[in-house]
Amino acid sequence: MTMNKSTQTAINGLRFMKMHGAGNDFVVIDSRGLAGAVVTPALALALGDRNRGVGFDQLAEIRDGDGADFTLDFWNNDGTRAGACGNATRCVSDYVMAGLGLDAVRLTTSRGGLAAVRLPDGRVSVNMGAPQLDWAEVPLAHALDTLHLPLPGDPAAVGMGNPHCVFFVADAEAIDLPGLGPRFEHDPLYPQRTNVEFASLTGPDRFRMRVWERGAGITLACGSGACATAVAAHLRGLTGRRVTLDLDGGVLEIDWRDDGVWMTGPTAHVFDGWLTPEFLAAHP
């Protein structure tokens, strides 16, 4: 059911949905029909607490679209804004498609216009747009060869609406992700911090990938990170333009086409709930 003004702002609080894509989990708030966005940094931070709030890797707020079916804003669980979230985009697109009776939608994010489609097998694909490969677009602190950063491990930098630092390693399972993730997230080369991916080739055009997300930490999957890894792998001559990635929470398929990087995977709408007026008042 599509949330509208009457169901969203009833006297018993604020309605939300819990969704996940390959284990990458989200709180989703549908603000369509309201005067403006309802999520604030304080609310995102409080909601992201898995003990005192709801808990999520990212929060997605659905707003009315300007020339599109809808607009999406993203937040990390530390209360900061996120530039892109591919798995949340797929999950919300599936929800909106069901509400509109469509198998394809157009949406806008901070990246601009994107497209999503539901496949016959029920999975959802989203075009994440063209990768950002120039150092200033990623962005990096100064001009560098983005395919070979001067950091231990020889990572690549790719922008997908948010920055990524991609390492190709012999065994992704053996990586100290809790130790290395925050170290590279805050490296001075990345003035806006960065997501960090570690990927090991397991077969033709297939990787095992683990991820540390800026503002969220270790997550079971990262759609934009999967896209960045596939792009970097192809540019380094490790794969073709279609790549399968096995993440902690499931499988994502990436296809770098002429019109953008398409990411395909499962979606799940887990439950709906209400935030109480008391909780909202405490986190304006």
Per-residue pLDDT of the chain (284 residues; tens, 9 = 90+): 344 443 444 456 899 999 999 999 999 999 999 888 999 999 999 999 999 999 999 999 999 988 899 999 999 999 999 988 999 999 999 999 999 999 999 999 988 899 999 999 999 999 999 999 999 999 999 999 999 999 999 999 999 999 999 999 999 999 999 999 999 999 999 999 999 999 999 999 999 999 999 999 999 999 999 999 999 999 999 999 999 999 999 999 999 999 999 999 999 999 999 999 999 999 99
* Shared-domain flag, residues 179 and 225: yes
Report, in this order, helix, strand and coil percent for the chain, each rounded to 5: 20, 35, 40
Distance CA 249, CA 219 (A): 8
DSSP letter, residue 86: H
- Residue 156 Cα distances to 29, 60, 66, 118, 176, angstroms: 34, 28, 35, 31, 19
* Backbone torsions φ then ψ of 282, nearest 5 degrees: -80, -15
Alpha carbons 187 and 76: distance in angstroms, whole number: 19
Same domain? For 173 and 72 the reply is: no
Q: Which residues form the domain of 211? A: 156-258
Residue 221 placed within a domain: yes
- Whether 206 maps to a domain, the answer reads yes
85, 91, 165, 227: which one is catalytic?
85
Query: Same domain for 123 and 10?
Result: yes
pTM: 0.92
My answer on whether 102 and 81 are in the same domain is yes
Element (H, E) at 179: helix 177-185
Asked whether residue 76 is assigned to any structural domain, the reply reads: yes
Whether residues 208 and 234 share a domain: the answer is yes
Whether residue 204 is preceded by a cis peptide bond, meaning omega within 30 degrees of 0, is no
The secondary structure of residue 132, as a DSSP letter, is B
Q: How many domains does the chain have?
A: 2
**137 within some domain:** no
In a domain, residue 102? The reply is: yes
Q: Is the domain of 19 the same as that of 83?
A: yes
Residue 133: φ, ψ to 5°: -110, -10
Residues 116 and 169 in one domain: no
Predicted pLDDT at 4? 43
The yes-or-no answer on residue 85 being catalytic is: yes
Q: Helix, strand, or coil here: 122?
A: coil
Place of tokens 């694909």: 125
- Strand 206-213 with 242-247, pairing: parallel
- List the Cα angle 145/251/254 in 5-degree steps: 45
- CATH number of 64's domain: 3.10.310.10
Shared-domain flag, residues 247 and 273: no
Same structural domain for residues 94 and 161? Answer: no
Asked whether residue 271 falls in the same domain as residue 238, the answer is no
Q: Considering the domain boundaries, does residue 144 fall inside one?
A: no
Same domain as 178, residue 101: no
Kindly provide the b/e burial profile for residues 153-175, where b requires at least 16 CB atoms within 10 angstroms of the residue's own CB. Answer: eebbbbbbbbbbbbbbbeebeeb
Question: Which is catalytic among the residues 91, 165, 222, 227?
Answer: 222
Note the Cα 2 to chain centre separation in Å: 22
106 and 180 belong to one structural domain: no
For residue 151, is it within any domain?
no
On whether residue 132 sits in a domain, the answer given is: no
The contacts of residue 35 (CB under 8 Å, 6+ apart) are: none
